[in-house]
Amino acid sequence: MSKKMIGNLMREAQKLQERMTKLQEEARQTTAEASSGGGMVSAVANGSGEVVSIAIDKEVVNPDDVEMLQDLIIAACNEAIKRAHEKVQEELSKLTGGMQLPGMPDIANLFGK
């Protein structure tokens, strides 16, 4: 392989790294919402896997059934995180042309999850 080819390859790798860094920043701004219990609990998560907000309907707050509320919160949060990761995965797929490149992390690893 010639020095010119290696240089071109290195420039392309640098461009890809810059795009990946930009995608990580955009992932922090990408959000998805999900709800459980017929909308009684909703959660919003970002593409970095962080839950950024939770809304709980007063009607679902029952001191005698805390476990149900906990289950609804977990379900809403998990689904919101899943949806946000799917959005980011779509963007990553656009970046890579839909190919899983060798050595490229999957979306869960991309953001430290």
CA nearest to 80, candidates 39, 40, 31: 31
Q: Is the pTM of this model over 0.95?
A: no
pLDDT of residue 39: 97
Q: What pLDDT band is residue 100 in, cutting at 50, 70 and 90?
A: low
pLDDT tens-digit map of 12-46: 888 888 887 887 888 888 999 999 999 999 999 99
For residue 78, what is the domain's CATH number?
3.30.1310.10
Provide the strand spans (E) within the chain. Answer: 31-36, 41-46, 51-56
pLDDT tens-digit map of 43-87: 999 998 999 999 999 999 999 999 999 999 999 999 999 999 999
Number of domains in the chain: 1
Domain around 102: 3-110
Asked whether residue 113 carries a pLDDT value surpassing 50, the answer given is no
**CA–CA separation, 109 and 113 (whole Å):** 5
Integer Rg of the chain from CA: 19
